[in-house]
Structure 1
Amino acid sequence: MAILKPTLLTALAAMVTTTQAQSANPGVGSNPNAQGATDDVTPSTGPNGSEDWLNTGLTSTGWTPPYLALSSVLHISLSQFYATIGSPCAQYDQYFQSASSKYTIDPVILAVIAMQESSCNASAGGPTPGLMQVSCDNYPNGVCTDSIQDNVDAGTNYLKSQLDAAGGNAIQAFGAYNGWFTAGSGLNGDKGLTVDYPCSEEGRANGVPQNLDYLHQVLNGWLMGLDVYGDDAWIGTYRCDQNCDDGKVIE
């Protein structure tokens, strides 16, 4: 029997520790409607499907979102979210509940989007202000206001419009919320979003590069109660740098 040298034992132990550190079990099981779904969240998989499945076509012919109904998306409860990483969102619960009733979308989905988009900062600025970070076109009468409820309603209205346009497909709707697009949009030679698009001349002209880990981070990170901006930043395989300074979107 071969005897492992101490240096090799140390390296193997480090590999095991790294693997354990880069996985988490949210305790929600795995989604039978999602390909590549796993009970544990890893850099490339999770309860709502693998990143390769969520990003179908991104590395070749263009993003072709698979179908996953919003009603079948797995997630932790709203109380669990508020008790953990979503604690900054709890103060806005009344607004999420109101929009949920108006648009029939689970309030935990809305709170998670607010956390991902603005870290639940109602004062977040930019061209898409507030909690939900959507354009003023989605506000009542198409005009931004200082109302937190208007802001949450605007974000929920946009998400609902994308769900309706996608026939209820949560993957396509969430992608659209982050600026992802499918074939037929007229962009990228009408192909849909691809890995090389964000830092192309056309992609740069259309603003900040899309986060290519977005779907995996939302569906298998934020919705599982994991802090993608903090301790759980290991979720995702593209590691989009969001600036194209090095001419690419993969570190």
Structure 2
Amino acid sequence: MAQYATHYLILATIIRLAGAQSVDPGIGINPEAQGATEDVTPGAGPNGSEDWFNTGLDGDGWNPPFLNFTTLYHINRPAFYAGAGSSCEQYDSYFQIGGDSHGIDPTILAFIAMQESSCQADAGGPTPGLMQVSCDNYPNGVCTDSIQDNVNAGANYLRSQLDQYGNNAIAAIGSYNGWFMAGSGLNSNKGLTDDYPCSAEGQSNGEPQNLDYLQQTLNGWFTGLNPYGDQSWIGTYRCQGSCSNGALC
């Protein structure tokens, strides 16, 4: 749907250079994003810097800046499916239906599915399937084995967060991963802080464990890179889902 289309970027030639990923020099950067760079580095990329996405994590709690969802820079689906998102191609029709039904670019649903489950429809856990959202977002609030129901549930939750936060992509996508702001009742009623995931409370809740989530998503999958594979250097917290050896997440 045109009103929800983002600025599509076809990242044609990707070259690994000195810890950064260079893309076609004619692409430019998202003019609405603070700290944006043409090259994807561990802490920045076309949609802004990780420090900006994570505003407040090293202080009183996450205070997401505003980035309009409709301005997000990303590659198109054919380019994504031809590279890092190849495992998502088989579910394209589901993303199309879910996206069209909720006013969301289907390509973005594919990016989120890669971040959440590596596009594995049989991914388990308390939030199963491709989109890894709670059963509350399914029809009648009950999880089913339907792939379409799963994708629709993810699209429904993302749409609800976009509506709640005035189309703020950073707030909505962070919330998709369980990030929270002041007033949630968690972390002494503060927003998410970088010492929360490995605190006793954070570990008992089990989420959010990945403080690199926004960087990996908005400057990783969105640009056709694979933070779980060859581009595992994307992100500055180096989250491994473990709190051992001084890790934060």
Q: Deviations over 1:15-68 (max 9, x none)?
A: xxxx92421134442110010001110011100001111111111111100000
Amino acid at match of 1:198: P
Is the contact made by 1:209 and 1:244 (CA closer than 8 Å) also made in structure 2? no
State whether structure 2 residue 13 is matched by structure 1 residue 23: no
Structure 2: state its 5+ residue gaps. Answer: 1-15
Match of 2:226 in 1: 227
Contact 2:197 2:248 in 1 (8 A): yes
What amino acid maps onto 2:209 in structure 1? Q
Counterparts of 2:89 and 2:169, CA distance in 1: 24
More strand by share: 2
Give the CA deviation at 1:246: 3.6
Higher helix share: 1
Instruction: Tell me what 2:104 maps to.
Output: 105
Identity %: 66
1:147 is matched with 146
TM-score, with length taken from structure 2: 0.90
Rounded to whole Å, the distance in 2 between the matches of 1:172 and 1:209 is 14
Q: Residue 68 of structure 2 aligns with which residue?
A: 69
Following superposition, the deviation at residue 78 of structure 1 comes to 1.0
Corresponding residue number in structure 2 for 1:38:
37
Q: Which moved more, 1:171-180 or 1:239-248?
A: 239-248
Residues 171-197 of structure 1: CA deviation (Å, up to 9, x unaligned): 011101111101111111222000111
Paired residues in the alignment total: 232
Matched, 1:87 2:65: no
1:24 partner SS: strand
Equivalent residues in 2 for 1:50-199 (5 A)? 50-199=49-198
Separation in 2, partners of 1:92, 1:241: 27
Find the aligned partners of 2:33 and 2:144 in 1 and give their Cα distance. 39
Counterpart code for 1:143:
V
Mapped to 1, the partners of 2:219 and 2:18 lie a distance apart of: 16
CA distance in 2, matches of 1:106, 1:219: 14
Q: 1: CA distance between counterparts of 2:84 and 2:159?
A: 25
Matched residue type, 2:107: V
Q: Residue 44 of structure 2: SS of its match in structure 1?
A: coil
Separation in 2 of the partners of 1:86 and 1:136?
25
Aligned residue number for residue 6 of structure 1: none
Kindly name which structure, 1 or 2, has the bigger radius of gyration based on alpha carbons.
1
3-state SS in 2 of match to 1:66: coil
RMSD over equivalenced CA pairs, Å: 1.4
Check conservation: 2:179, 2:208, Cα contact below 8 A.
no
Q: Secondary structure at the match of 1:56?
A: coil
Query: How far, CA to CA, are the matches of 1:95 and 1:209 in structure 2?
Result: 27
